[in-house]
């Protein structure tokens, strides 16, 4: 049945060459008949933006319940999951899969804990490239607040200006010195999100080259372009902009999959363990969890993605199709 649906879609274009305009693929899941639609931040209405920011604030005001290292709030708990997994979730085949499930965990948290009913937004960085400094994200009208100020680089505007967390930067936990959200926005990195760069990734013809392309400049654009907390590979979800950046990167993967779903909804691989000791030993505040998926040097569909109780763990196979039973969403 899956095959028939996909063949029907592919038949509308040339099955060998990617069609210029990719039609919305039908869901292959019996359970997922009406996928939620994720939308670009700059296309949301003012009230949609406000509802999203309010839901994020709600997570920041809800006490932690899972006992994850250092976390004080439900927002912190999500950051903790990234901190705990950072060493095995970057520069590995599971990089995009881990972050797909992780953004989903954020979406589920907003909806189940804070009654959020709107779309999980993504930051269309091609829209803002080459000028992140003028992005509609970094405003208060409504938005995520502006740039960091002073030597501490704390944001001092927007709904999150007063948020303090004991987590980060990196593996650090500072119970006696909770810190602000920091930014150091620059346009230098924004070229990594140019339409040319992104189209270059979309035109890759296999998983390994697509993943390498995506984790490189498009991924680096948002992290480096927002800077400070977002520039930290371990604790970057401490800036809520993270969730829009990685939703955009996930969209890139989904778009790439939609160009040849019959192959790409099953195509996985890559090294299963980090190259060159990513992360390194933490200086203080606890050890990161380092675990593979039961051995093997190559990332497979059976690789387990760990969410530490925020939502249940899942395998890569479970999250390959955003329109599948578990995730049930698509991008506009
Ligand atoms: Cu990232």
- In this predicted structure, what is the pLDDT of residue 282? 40
Q: Is the pLDDT of residue 255 over 60?
A: yes
As a whole number of Å, the CA-based R_g of the chain is: 19
Give 256 or 3, the one with higher predicted confidence.
256
- In this predicted structure, what is the pLDDT of residue 293? 53
Q: Is the pLDDT of residue 224 over 90?
A: yes
Compute the distance between CA of residue 117 and CA of residue 111 in angstroms, rounded to an integer: 6
CA–centroid distance, residue 219 to ligand 1 (Å) = 6
CA–centroid distance, residue 94 to ligand 1 (Å) = 12
CA–centroid distance, residue 213 to ligand 1 (Å) = 13
Torsion over CA of 141, 144, 146 and 151, rounded to 10 degrees? Answer: 160
CA–centroid distance, residue 118 to ligand 1 (Å) = 23
- In this predicted structure, what is the pLDDT of residue 13? 36
- 315 exposed, middle or buried (CB, 10 Å; 0-12, 13-18, 19+)? middle
- In this predicted structure, what is the pLDDT of residue 12? 37
pLDDT in tens, 70-86: 999 999 999 999 999 98
CA–centroid distance, residue 104 to ligand 1 (Å) = 15
pLDDT in tens, 135-191: 999 999 999 999 999 999 999 999 999 999 999 999 999 999 999 999 999 999 999
CA–centroid distance, residue 6 to ligand 1 (Å) = 31
Give residue 1's pLDDT band: very low, low, confident or very high (50, 70, 90). Answer: very low
- In this predicted structure, what is the pLDDT of residue 271? 87
Q: Is the pLDDT of residue 126 over 80?
A: yes
- In this predicted structure, what is the pLDDT of residue 275? 56
- In this predicted structure, what is the pLDDT of residue 91? 87
CA–centroid distance, residue 113 to ligand 1 (Å) = 24
Compute the distance between CA of residue 155 and CA of residue 226 in angstroms, rounded to an integer: 12
- In this predicted structure, what is the pLDDT of residue 27? 66
Q: Is the pLDDT of residue 14 over 50?
A: no
Give 6 or 132, the one with higher predicted confidence.
132
For the domain 35-331, what is the CATH code? 1.10.1280.10
Compute the distance between CA of residue 285 and CA of residue 80 in angstroms, rounded to an integer: 12
Q: Is the pLDDT of residue 10 over 90?
A: no
What letter does residue 42 receive in the DSSP assignment?
A: G
Q: Which of 148, 154, 178, 222 is nearest to 71 (CA)?
A: 178
When mean pLDDT is compared over 12-16, 23-27, 199-203, 274-278, the highest value belongs to 199-203
Give 159 or 7, the one with higher predicted confidence.
159
pLDDT in tens, 259-294: 999 999 999 999 887 654 444 444 333 334 444 455
- In this predicted structure, what is the pLDDT of residue 273? 73
DSSP assignments along 263-286, one per residue = HHTS---SBSS-GGGSS---SSS-
- In this predicted structure, what is the pLDDT of residue 297? 78
CA–centroid distance, residue 51 to ligand 1 (Å) = 25
pLDDT in tens, 311-332: 999 999 999 999 999 999 999 9
CA–centroid distance, residue 8 to ligand 1 (Å) = 35
Torsion over CA of 48, 76, 114 and 31, rounded to 10 degrees? Answer: 90
- In this predicted structure, what is the pLDDT of residue 290? 45
| Per-domain boundaries in the chain | 35-331
pLDDT in tens, 98-109: 999 999 999 999
- In this predicted structure, what is the pLDDT of residue 25? 65
Give residue 127's pLDDT band: very low, low, confident or very high (50, 70, 90). Answer: very high
pLDDT in tens, 17-69: 444 444 566 666 788 999 999 999 999 999 999 999 999 999 999 999 999 98
């Amino acid at each position: 049945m899956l095959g028939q649906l996909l063949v029907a879609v592919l038949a509308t274009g040339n099955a060998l060459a990617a069609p210029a305009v990719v039609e919305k693929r039908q869901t292959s899941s019996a359970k997922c008949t009406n996928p939620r639609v994720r939308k670009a931040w700059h296309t949301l209405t003012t009230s949609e933006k406000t509802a999203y920011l309010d839901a994020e604030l709600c997570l920041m005001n809800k006490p932690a319940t899972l006992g994850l290292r250092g976390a004080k709030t439900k927002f912190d708990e999500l950051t903790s999951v990234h901190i705990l997994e950072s060493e095995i979730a970057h520069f590995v085949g599971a990089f995009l899969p881990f972050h797909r499930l992780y953004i989903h965990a954020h979406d589920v948290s907003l909806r189940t804990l804070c009654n959020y009913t709107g779309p999980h937004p993504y930051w269309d960085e091609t829209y803002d490239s080459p000028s992140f400094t003028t992005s509609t994200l970094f405003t208060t009208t409504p938005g995520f607040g502006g740039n960091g100020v002073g030597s501490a680089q704390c944001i001092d505007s927007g709904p999150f200006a007063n948020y303090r967390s004991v987590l980060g930067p990196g593996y650090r936990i500072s119970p006696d010195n909770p810190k602000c959200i920091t930014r150091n926005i620059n346009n230098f990195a924004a070229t990594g999100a140019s339409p040319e760069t992104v189209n270059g990734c979309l035109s890759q013809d296999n998983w390994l080259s697509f993943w390498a392309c995506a984790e490189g400049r498009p991924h680096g654009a948002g992290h480096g372009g927002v800077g400070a907390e977002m520039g930290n590979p371990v604790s970057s979800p401490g800036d809520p902009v993270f969730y829009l950046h990685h939703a955009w990167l996930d969209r890139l993967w989904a778009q790439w999959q939609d160009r040849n779903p019959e192959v790409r909804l099953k195509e996985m691989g890559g090294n299963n363990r980090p190259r060159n000791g990513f992360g390194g030993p933490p200086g203080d505040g606890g050890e990161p969890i380092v675990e593979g998926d039961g051995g093997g040097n190559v990332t497979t569909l059976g690789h387990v993605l760990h969410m530490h109780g925020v939502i249940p763990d899942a395998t890569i196979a479970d999250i390959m199709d955003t329109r599948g039973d578990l995730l049930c969403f698509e991008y506009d």
